[in-house]
Amino acid sequence: MTSRASYGVDGWPYVLGLAGSGALTSLGAVLAARAGRGRWAGALAVAAAGALVPAGLGVDYVRSGKLLLRDRLLDAVTWRGDEVVLDVGSGAGLLGLGAARRVPRGRVHCVDLWVGTDLSGNGVDRLRRNARLEGVADRVDARTVDARELDLPDRSVDVVLSSLCLHNIDDAGRRRAAGEMARVLAPGGTVAVSDLAGTDDLAAWFTADGLRVLRHERVPRTFPPQRWVLAERPR
């Protein structure tokens, strides 16, 4: 897949805040050292590292970790090429557009509320531009839909995907969103969800809703660290 499309910076206010405070405390450390304030310089250098290391890991996730996560989730699905796919909280289309490359005869629904603070440059226009850049616009639908109230019929989706969306929703809402994912999943269908929190609950809710959990494990090169749940609806 090309990398001309931009999939945004997740939680960009935090990354920006960490980078900014890291830069300021680094400057403070240099000035303190020049003024002969060794203990202050040391303390400020430790504080700078405490901000810059997570900022750097966050940037690494955006530059390459999220593409690896996409490939890991999509590789776990056995594709026919004509599936109906749903990306819940699609943002700029990381998972949905990747899936669209694998379903030349299928249909991909990308749904989101396009929250600006969750992803830099978030919006339906950017997702549509990315779909054109990736050459998959003919089979991608993008709509404003809440994960807690999906607009698709029962058992109508072959593959449900989601990354870093559900933790943005409160506990009751996450339970509803998990139930909605299970509701729309067709017999024999697969759901793959990655997130930085709440995946134990998610695996339990999927099981309660009749799905079989196949995998629940850490995703490498993610920051903050994510875990993903892979489940299927038995035929």
Residues of this chain that bind ligand SAM (CB under 6 A): 7-8, 10, 66, 89-92, 94, 112-115, 118-119, 122, 146-148, 163-165, 168-169
Contact indicator for 147, 165 with CB cutoff of 8 Å: yes
Give the sign of the dihedral formed by CA 122, CA 123, CA 129, CA 134: positive
* Residue 5 DSSP label: S
Question: Is residue 158 helix, strand or coil?
Answer: strand
Provide, rounded to whole angstroms, the least separation between the CB of residue 112 and ligand SAM: 4
Measured from the CB atom, is 25 or 205 closer to ligand SAM?
205
Secondary structure element (H or E) that encloses residue 141, with its range: strand 140-144
Provide, rounded to whole angstroms, the least separation between the CB of residue 62 and ligand SAM: 9
Provide, rounded to whole angstroms, the least separation between the CB of residue 195 and ligand SAM: 10
Provide, rounded to whole angstroms, the least separation between the CB of residue 222 and ligand SAM: 10
Provide, rounded to whole angstroms, the least separation between the CB of residue 36 and ligand SAM: 45
Provide, rounded to whole angstroms, the least separation between the CB of residue 121 and ligand SAM: 10
DSSP 127-195: HHHHHHHTT-GGGEEEEE--TTS--S-TT-EEEEEEES-GGGS-HHHHHHHHHHHHHHEEEEEEEEEEE
Measured from the CB atom, is 108 or 169 closer to ligand SAM?
169
Measured from the CB atom, is 79 or 114 closer to ligand SAM?
114
Contact indicator for 180, 205 with CB cutoff of 8 Å: no
Contact indicator for 77, 190 with CB cutoff of 8 Å: yes
Determine the Cα–Cα distance for residues 111 and 103; give it in Å rounded to an integer. Answer: 18
Q: Which residue is nearest to ligand SAM (CB)?
A: 91
Backbone angles phi, psi at 163, to 5 degrees: -140, 135
Measured from the CB atom, is 30 or 113 closer to ligand SAM?
113
Measured from the CB atom, is 92 or 211 closer to ligand SAM?
92
Measured from the CB atom, is 145 or 211 closer to ligand SAM?
145
Question: Is residue 223 helix, strand or coil?
Answer: coil
